[in-house]
Structure 1
Amino acid sequence: MWKRISVAAVLSVLAATAAFAVSAMDKETLIVGTSGAYPPYEFHGQSGDLVGFDIDMTEAIAKKLGKKLQWLDMIFDSLLPSLMANKIDLVSAGLSATPERAKRVSFSSPYEISYSAFITRVDYQPKSTDDLTGKTVAVQIGTVQETFARALGNVEVKTYQKFDECVREVALGRVDATFMDIPAAKAYVKAKDFDGKIAIAFNKQITGADKAIAISKENVELTAAVSRIIEEMDKNGELQALRDKWFNE
Structure 2
Amino acid sequence: MKFLSSIFAAAFTLASLTLPASADTLADVISNGKLRVGVLLDAAPWGYKGADGKDTGLDVELARMMAKDLNAELEIVPLTGPSRVPNLLADKIDVLIAAAGATPERAQQVMFSQPYAAVSLGVFGAPGAPITDVAGLAGKQIAVAKGSTLDTWLTDNAPDAKLIRFEDTPSAISAFLAGQAQYFAENSAIAAKVTEDNPGKPVSLAFLIRQSPAHVAVKQGEQNFLNWINTFLFYHNMNGDLAKLQKTFFKEEQTLPHM
Q: TM-score, normalised by structure 2?
A: 0.80
Contact 2:118 2:214 in 1 (8 A): yes
Per-residue CA deviations over 1:45-93 (Å, capped at 9, x if unaligned) read 1232210111112221222233322001122211110101111111111
Letter in 1 for 2:228: A
Residue 101 of structure 1: CA displacement?
1.0
> What is the letter of the counterpart of residue 247 of structure 1?
F
128, 143, 162: which one aligns with 1:156: 162
How many aligned residue pairs are there?
237
CA offset digits 1:178-213 (Å, max 9, x no partner): 12222211212332xx553x4313265423442101
Q: What letter matches 1:118 in structure 2?
A: V
Q: Which runs of 5+ in 2 are unaligned?
A: 1-9, 253-259
Does structure 1 retain, via aligned residues, the 8 Å contact 2:122–2:210? no
Residue 220 of structure 2 is matched in structure 1 by: 217
1:82-112 CA deviation, whole Å, 9 max, x = no partner?
1011111111111111221111111111112
- Aligned equivalent of 1:246: 249
Q: Which one is further off, 129-138 or 94-103?
A: 129-138
Structure (1/2) with the larger strand percentage: 2
Which TM-score applies when normalising by structure 1?
0.82
SS of corresponding position for 2:244:
helix
In structure 2, relative to structure 1, the CA distance for the partners of 1:51 and 1:106 (3 Å cut) is: same
Q: Distance in 1 between matches of 2:107 and 2:246?
A: 25
- One-letter code aligned to 1:221: N
Q: Which residue of 2 aligns with 1:36?
A: 41
User: Equivalents in 1 of 2:137, 2:97: separation in Å?
Assistant: 31
Instruction: Give the Cα separation in 2 of the matches to 1:144 and 1:186.
Output: 19
Once residues 143 and 76 of structure 2 are traced to their aligned partners in structure 1, the CA distance between those partners, rounded to angstroms, is: 27
CA distance in 2, matches of 1:209, 1:177: 19
Deviations 1:222-248 (A, max 9, x none): 111001111222222221111111112
Query: For 1:10 and 1:199, how far apart are their aligned partners in 2?
Result: 66
Aligned to 1:23: 25
With 81-90 and 226-235 compared, the bigger mean Cα shift is at 226-235
Match of 2:191 in 1: 185
AA paired with 1:215? V
Match of 1:94 in 2: 99
Correspondence for 1:3: none
Kindly indicate whether the alpha-carbon contact (under 8 Å) linking 1:137 and 1:176 is maintained by their aligned counterparts in 2.
yes
| AA at the equivalent of 2:38 | G
Which of 141, 145, 151 matches 1:136? 141
Q: Does 1:169 align with 2:175?
A: yes
| Kept in 2: contact 1:170–1:178 (CA 8 A) | yes
Larger Rg: 2
Give the match for residue 210 of structure 2. Answer: 207
> Is the alpha carbon distance of 1:174 and 1:44 closer, same or farther for their aligned partners in structure 2, counting shifts above 3 Å?
same
How far apart, CA to CA, are the structure 1 residues paired with 2:44 and 2:21? 40
**Runs of at least 5 residues in structure 1 that lack an aligned partner in the other structure:** 1-5
Query: In the superposition, relative to structure 1, how do residues 205 and 58 fare at CA in structure 2: closer, same or farther (>3 Å)?
Result: farther
Percent identity over the alignment is 23
Q: Is the 1:104–1:217 Cα contact (8 Å) retained in structure 2? A: yes
Could you tell me how far apart the structure 1 residues matched to 2:236 and 2:208 are?
25
Give the 3-state SS of the residue equivalent to 2:154 in structure 1: helix
